Structure 1
Amino acid sequence: MSKTTLPDYVTIALGLQSSKLSVTPAELHGLLVGMLSGGLSISDKSWQPLIFDYTNDGMGWPDKALKYAESVLSVSIDELTGTGMDLFMLLPDDDADLMEMADALSEWVNHFISGLGLVNVALKGASRDVKEALTDLEEISKLGIDEDDDLQEQADILEQVIEHVKACVLIIHAEFGKKPLQEKTAPTIH
């Protein structure tokens, strides 16, 4: 598990809105995780022009919004390159409306897929597992909640879908994502 956690969804939403950016926290996080999972460098700021182009017609972001994005990116790098198998998604709090949660998940997944595209990940040579994970994600991106069905049952299913999304992301990242450089140590001679 990461030592740091993702910033609060509502705080980031208000910060992005006050910066006049039309991107939600879920979209931002999905996009960044998609870029990281597609092989984006984890040691420079090459992500910034991609985000600016995709979300703001190439214009830079105000400092406040950029700090939120850097915080989200930092936590995501820690989670994806760490030893744990946990991935936390920047979605509304658990007490949010079910429709809002489903919409945010759909936004997250759509932007994750877009993030893979932004870094030009070579999916043609991808493993069967990665192709299957992408197919699942494309289906999940079309997620909808039927208000006429049992909402508690749909909430339970949504939780399962969120866990499946995390597994798909970790599969894709394992194949294409950058790993932190390991310091080479001299072998111990006994």
Structure 2
Amino acid sequence: MSDIRLPDYNQALTELTAASLSVTPAELQGLITGMLSGGIPTDNDNWKTILFDYTNDGMGWPVNASKIADTIFTFSMKELSGTSMELNMLLPSDDDLLNYADAVSEWVNHFISGLGLAGSSLSKLSTETKEALVDLEEISKLGIDEDDDLSEQAILLEQVIEHVKVCVLTIHADLAVKPTATTPKTLH
């Protein structure tokens, strides 16, 4: 399982488009990460039912597209449950800054949707989690101004992406399903 990687963005986009699904790889990973961070159970495939309802009117996905979702789910679950405090976002190449920025916004929007789909109670959030959620809501509205210095905006966008990651990890730490600790048996 350690060799599971995020799929190539363009290949995933081709498969999702060929399956007539109106979701990009960035949106898909944002949605799945939001569901995981919101506490969706990971011990069954109910997440797929929610995904199919949200993205395809309850209809299942073709095999190749479904494999992409499975890979993203497994990768994201492993990454979020690890201790590395690292989050990799499935985004297109940053060669086209406007497309890249749009994908970041889509990722964040779908992350927020995923939190809602997980059905987590947002009423008892820690102060840090509330602030992270407010930050993500603001970030989801950001865009690149083509008239401004694009190299400067690219640097700012990378800083925003790092902040998104911190916000997501903060929310995940507060809301996600915690692994059940097994109590060691003591022999007397």
TM-score interval, smaller chain: over 0.9
Alignment of 1:1-190 (within 5 A): 3-94=3-94, 96-187=95-186
TM, length-normalised to structure 1: 0.94
The aligned amino acid for 1:83 is: T
Q: How far has the Cα of 1:131 moved from its partner? A: 0.6
Q: Do the aligned partners of residues 188 and 154 (structure 1) sit closer, same or farther apart at CA in structure 2, a change above 3 Å counting?
A: farther
Give TM-score scaled by structure 2 length: 0.95
- Displacement after TM superposition at 1:182 (Å): 4.2
Displacement of 1:82 after TM fit? 0.8
Task: Kindly indicate whether the alpha-carbon contact (under 8 Å) linking 2:37 and 2:171 is maintained by their aligned counterparts in 1.
Answer: yes
Distance in 1, Cα, partners of 2:46 & 2:62? 17
Give the gaps of 5 or more residues in structure 1.
none
Tell me the SS of whatever aligns to 2:155.
helix
1:187 Cα deviation from its structure 2 partner: 4.5
- Offset, 1:63: 1.1
Question: Equivalents in 2 of 1:188, 1:3: separation in Å?
Answer: 38
User: Secondary structure of 1:65's match?
Assistant: helix
Aligned residues: 187
CA offset at residue 119 of structure 1?
1.3
CA distance in 2, matches of 1:20, 1:185: 50
Q: 5+ residue gaps in structure 2?
A: none
For 2:106, what is the secondary structure of its paired residue?
helix
Q: What is the CA–CA distance in structure 1 between the aligned matches of 2:151 and 2:187, rounded to whole Å?
A: 58
Give how far 1:59 is off.
0.8
1:144-178 CA deviation, whole Å, 9 max, x = no partner? Answer: 10111110000000000000000000000001112
1:21-50 deviation per Cα after TM superposition (whole angstroms, max 9, x unaligned): 110000000000000000011111010111
Q: Deviation above 6 Å: which 4+ runs of structure 1?
A: none
1:46-73 deviation per Cα after TM superposition (whole angstroms, max 9, x unaligned): 1011111110011111111110000000
Matched residue of 1:158: which SS?
A: helix
Identity %: 58
SS in 2 for 1:164: helix
Is the Cα–Cα contact under 8 Å of residues 42 and 180 in structure 1 kept in the other structure? no
Cα deviations across residues 58-104 of structure 1 (Å, max 9, x unaligned)?
Answer: 1111111110000000000000001111100011123x300011100
One-letter code aligned to 1:57: D
In 1, Cα distance between the equivalents of 2:83 and 2:3? 12
Q: Name the SS for the 1:85 alignment partner.
A: coil
Aligned mates of 2:187, 2:6 — CA distance in 1: 39
